[in-house]
Amino acid sequence: MAMAAPEALREETTTPAPEPYTGPAERHPRQPLVPLALSPGAVELTGPVFGAADVSPLDADLTRQHPGEPIGERITVSGRVVDGRGRPVRGQLVEVWQANAAGRYTHRLDRHPAPLDPNFTGTGRCLTDDEGRYRFTTIRPGAYPVFPDANVWRPPHVHFSLFGTAFTQRLVTQMYFPGDPLLAHDGVWHAVTDPAARRRLVAAYDPGLNDAVASTLGYRWDIVLDGPAAVRSGEGRH
């Protein structure tokens, strides 16, 4: 039986990149943006301020927040939060939220028919240490359909929120996993138009973060808050 050449197979399976995701029109600003005039060196402390007493070590382990064991592949996600000069950002509140292993969020508006996991809520938080490091133990999230009629799926991802020292400094973005074939078809990922910035949204597999005792595979994802190497904001809902 004749076999198609590899080039022909690539042509048959290649699809154009999706349109960058812009979100529904009602979520866009309806009024012009208002610039905030701050004096040089001023720090706006209108946002929340968190200390060690507000965050417990259990908050960073999403697999131990319920009596039973969650279903799915256990992973460790860790990295450093630094500024544009590579200096560690200490005491930074880092929050995460994600779908479970079946691709379902614990949220009343999530209508995906995948099962909920009674032992996995999918939310966590921690404070960075003196070196700017954070660390979470969790379950690798599953993919899920955004527009079932069009067969459009989101790749597995973890949402991140960092508050900074002021509300206006908050960064909300997403971390993706390496080697995921769904990335090429994801409109949210393509909403970051700079290819180099897009690559910075993908974590790296790090064997040094593996934990055989806890049965977790390790992924490293460093976050740069400003400058040309900054991690870009992403759409926070999906």
Please state, in angstroms and rounded to a whole number, the distance separating the CA atoms of residues 1 and 213. Answer: 50
pTM, 2 dp: 0.81
pLDDT tens-digit readout, 75-112: 999 999 998 888 999 999 999 999 999 999 999 889 89
What would you measure as the largest C-alpha separation in the chain, in angstroms?
75
Hey, where are the domains in the chain?
74-223
Active-site positions? 105, 144, 154, 157, 159
Other Cβ atoms closer than 10 A to 46: 7
152-154 and 157-162 beta bridge pairing: unpaired
Structure tokens at 168: 């206006």
Burial of 215 (0-12, 13-18, 19+ CB in 10 A): exposed
Q: CA-to-CA distance for 195 and 175, rounded, in angstroms?
A: 15
Q: Which two tokens stand for residue 107?
A: 């949220």
pLDDT digits (tens, 9 = 90+) for 34-67: 776 655 444 444 444 555 567 888 899 999 999 9
The residue ranking higher by pLDDT, 126 or 49, is 126
More confident of the two residues 157 and 48: 157
Residues with Cβ within 8 Å of residue 224, at least 6 apart in sequence: 82, 83, 84, 200, 230, 231
| Mean pLDDT confidence for 205-224 | 95
C-alpha span between 146 and 164 (Å, rounded): 31
The DSSP-derived string for 116-182 is P-TT---EEEEE--TT-EEEEEEEPPPPEEEEGGGTEEEPPEEEEEE-TTSGGG-EEEEEE-TT-GG
* CATH domain 74-223 topology: Protocatechuate 3,4-Dioxygenase, subunit A (2.60.130)
CA-based R_g, the chain, Å: 20
